[in-house]
A and B are shown apart, each in its own frame.
Chain A
Amino acid sequence: MSEETVNHPVTAKKINPRLESYKLFWRRLAKNKAAVTGGIMILLIILMAFIGPWIITNFTDFRPNETDLANKLQGPSAAHWFGTDSYGRDIFTRVIFGTKLTLYVGFFSVFIGGVIGVIFGIVSGYYGGRIDTVIMRLMDVLLAFPGILLALAIVAVLGGSLTNVIIAVGIFSVPAFARVVRGSTLSVRKLEYIDAVRALGSSDFRIIFKHILPNIMSPIIVQASLRIATAILTGAGLAFLGLGAQPPAPEWGAMLNEGRQYMYEAGHVALFPGLMIVLVVLAFNIFGDGVRDALDPKMKN
């Protein structure tokens, strides 16, 4: 051990450049008001999703699926903050219990789409040539289905359920990641130090994980945050069409669908789940915008 330290005094003392760049990253992020606001909003939403149901279960008598037909379609009141739905269920309780489902759709689908997309993007950008052409054409095919249509077609095949929505929205997110990552990989690959590392005999695998991936983390983070927002909207849309989580799950999109029938006499049934979707999507959009501004040197000045 000590011999090695003696042999490589420079390596031992040198500051880790990656650690330094992470520090810089956090400092820039902390200075960006949008990123901080969005970040705090997201943390609060996560807290609400996981602690909220626990509080309600342990300290109140409200249950998300407890029906009370005598009190159906009541407007907001002290007893029912967000009112009750057509089965007399407390909408506030259901909204809190549904937060988790929305976050699952956002996070898991973007995780699936992100992992696949990043792999495609890096392989495409790093190796180039025929494999690049094939992958990018494949992405073009996925992008040829506009908007919600791709996810819709996939759910149509798999059948409506929360898991299938996550899979569908995940696949829907792949091309966006692949394109961004490919672009970033191409620009990092051009840097001279990658040639230097390669000349020193590093394997492709090592170069990709040690040198390229850390350098393209910023665009991936930005993309992930903005894609989570899109994923939640898409997932809610599918649920609204009756293709997502099935009743009586308190999924917000599904709640909107239920509330739709009572638009005129009880507008609040559709109002609150919608507002919650806006709030969560807003949080991720603000955060994504902020991170992009903080990391994009072009936006400086």
Chain B
Amino acid sequence: MTKFIIRRLLQTIPVLLGVTILVFSLMHLVPGDPAQIVAGEGASEQTVENIRERLGLNESIPVQYGTFLGNALQGDLGSSIRSGRPVMEEIGARFWVTVELAFYATLVAVFLGLIAGIVSAVRHYTLADTSIMIAALFGLSMPNFWFGLLLIQWFAIGNWMPESLEFLKMRPSGWGDSWRQIILPVLTLGTGGAAIIARMTRSSMLEVIGQDYIRTARAKGVSERIVTYRHALKNALIPVVTVVGLEFGGFLGGAVLTETIFAINGMGRLTIDAIRTRDFPIVQGTVLVISVIFVLVNLIVDISYRLLNKRIDMN
């Protein structure tokens, strides 16, 4: 077990290094002179030179990467070109907004997905199952930003929960004090994930129900209810647990779209605004932070999965 954890930790290091290399390269893969692009088309020679100096673009690439990595490890991701503030500060102001959004979306996805998946599996081949699976297929096929727009439209036209539309009046950061203000963005972000979890839970349940040990339980005279909820569910949930980390990470990335629609001032919007204004240090910063969180969350899920399920014969 300790061996597994150590191996898993060691595996993470090259991945994180790779992530920093890729993020670092963002600036250098831009066609043309990055300093010129950052400065804008009509900038003077002097401005371009200043930017080049400030970004350290005169050094050789490996030296630049070394500096970038060294600074990043100390929590310094440079400064925004537009505002001049440190990137970490810009991110820090918005970090929890996005994490909170992704966290609640994960809760919604897991909750809705599990219920739908279990119902579907228990009553498989009935109308309930078919309806749930069709709904899940739609959930999977729907662009979540479009679903968000529809939600806004419905809530606005029906005048349901007027507070839920409050976020549209831009707030500097963070949430208001009511769950109603968070519900629409969370639903927008979480629905697709719920569909994935529902489908996984169903197929996992159906697979488990075909296992020999389920037959053993039936041969003991156990009722179908207990077979389903005590013997099958616990086994079926194991693979579902592994996607929760992936979902959370996916939501961090997906927040880019949700935050844009709902005018939420999180890391996603920060990224988009930075891309539009070619503020590359900010883009590098947000992409790096989100990816590192994602890698670490998956690491934790992986290890805890192993710890929780050491009963499962790995062969």
Q: Do A and B touch, yes or no (CB under 8 Å, in the complex)?
A: yes
Least CB distance, A101 to chain B, in whole angstroms:
15
Q: Which of A16-24, A60-68, A143-151 contacts B (4 or more CB under 8 A)?
A: A143-151
Asked if B113 is at the interface of the complex by the 8 Å CB criterion, the answer is: no
Cβ–Cβ contact B19 & A144, under 8 A: yes
| Partner among A137, A156, A282 whose Cβ is within 8 Å of the Cβ of B26 | A156
Contact with A along B1-35 (1 / 0, CB 8 A): 00000000001001110110111001001110000
Q: How far is the CA of A242 from the CA of B145 in the complex (A)?
A: 13
Q: Which of B18, B153, B210, B271 is in CB contact (< 8 Å) with A141?
A: B18
Q: How far is the CA of A147 from the CA of B254 in the complex (A)?
A: 6
Listed stretches A70-78, A211-219, A233-241; interface member? A233-241
Q: Which residues of B contact A147 (CB under 8 A)?
A: 249-254
* Contact in complex: B141, A274 (CB < 8 Å): no
A278 lies within 8 A of B31 (CB): no
Q: B254, A148: Cβ atoms under 8 Å?
A: yes
Docked Cα-Cα span, A267 to B150, in Å, equals: 8
Question: Do A264 and B156 have beta carbons less than 8 Å apart?
Answer: yes
Roughly how many angstroms separate A135 CA and B283 CA in the complex, as a whole number? 26
Are B14 and A137 in contact (CB-based, < 8 A)?
Answer: yes
Q: Confirm or deny: B276 has a beta carbon within 8 angstroms of a beta carbon on chain A.
A: yes
Could you mark each residue 264-287 of chain B with 1 if its beta carbon is under 8 Å from any beta carbon of chain A, else 0?
A: 000000011001100010010001
B residues 144-188 near A (Cβ < 8 Å) are: 145-146, 149-150, 152-153, 156-157
Cβ contacts under 8 Å, B19 to chain A: 141, 144-145
Evaluate contact between B142 and A240: CB separation under 8 angstroms: no
Asked if A153 meets B287 with Cβ closer than 8 Å, knowing A146-B294, A286-B137, the reply is: yes
CB contact between B18 and one of A138, A233, A236, A237 (< 8 Å): that residue: A138
Q: Compute how far the CA of A153 lies from the CA of B287 in the bound complex, rounded to whole angstroms.
A: 7
With contact pairs A141-B18, A158-B31 given, residues A240 and B257 touching in the complex (Cβ less than 8 Å): yes
Contacts of A229 in B (CB 8 A): 140-141
Nearest-CB residue, chain A, relative to B255: A147
Contact of A282 among B141, B146, B246, B252 (CB under 8 A): B141
Encode A192-204 as 1/0 by CB contact (under 8 A) with B: 0000000000000
Q: Let me know if A291 is at the binding interface, CB within 8 A.
A: no
Complexed CA–CA distance, A156 and B25 (Å) = 12
Is B256 an interface residue, CB under 8 A from the partner?
Answer: yes
B215-253 contacts to A (CB < 8 Å): 246, 249-253
Residues 159-170 of chain A, each 1 if its beta carbon lies under 8 Å from chain B, else 0: 100000000000
Tell me whether A152 and B275 are in contact in the complex, defined as CB-CB below 8 angstroms, given that A145-B287, A277-B146, A282-B137 are known contacts: yes
- A202 CB to closest chain B CB (Å) equals 32
Residue pair B143, A240 in contact (C-beta under 8 Å): yes
A241, B260: Cβ atoms closer than 8 Å: yes
For A138, A256, A260, the residue with the greatest tally of chain B CB atoms inside 10 Å of its CB is A260
Q: Mark B184-222, 1 if CB is under 8 A from A, else 0.
A: 000000000000000000000001001000000000000
Q: Is the interface of B mostly helix, strand, loop or mixed?
A: helix
Instruction: Tell me if B305 counts as interface (CB < 8 A to partner A).
Output: no
Give which listed residue, A137, A237, A256, contacts B15 with CB less than 8 A: A137
Residues of A with C-beta under 8 A to B156: 263-264
Give which listed residue, A149, A242, A285, contacts B276 with CB less than 8 A.
A242
Please name all residues of chain B whose beta carbon is closer than 8 Å to the beta carbon of A141 when the two chains form the complex.
15, 18-19, 21-22
Whether, in the assembled complex, B111 has its beta carbon less than 8 Å from a beta carbon of chain A, the answer is no
A155 to B290, CA, bound (A): 17
| Chain A nearest Cβ from B156, distance in angstroms | 6
Chain B residues contacting A91 (CB-CB under 8 Å) are none
Given the interface contacts A233-B143, A236-B143, A281-B141, does A148 sit within 8 Å of B257 by beta carbon? yes
Distance in Å from the Cβ of B125 to the closest Cβ of chain A? 13
Query: Which chain B residues border A144 with CB–CB below 8 Å?
Result: 15-16, 18-19, 291, 294-295
- The closest CB in chain A to the CB of B294 belongs to A146
Complex contact B146–A148 (CB within 8 A): no
Measured in the bound complex, the distance between the Cα atoms of B11 and A278 in whole Å is: 38
CB<8 Å pairs between A and B, sample of 13: A141-B21, A144-B19, A145-B291, A146-B252, A146-B294, A148-B254, A158-B31, A240-B143, A240-B257, A241-B272, A260-B149, A263-B149, A274-B149
**B positions within 8 Å CB-CB of A:** 11, 14-16, 18-19, 21-23, 26, 29-31, 137-138, 140-143, 145-146, 149-150, 152-153, 156-157, 207, 210, 246, 249-254, 256-257, 260-261, 271-272, 275-276, 280, 283, 287, 290-291, 294-295
For the complex of A and B, 4 pairs with smallest distance between CB atoms? A147-B253, A141-B18, A146-B249, A274-B146
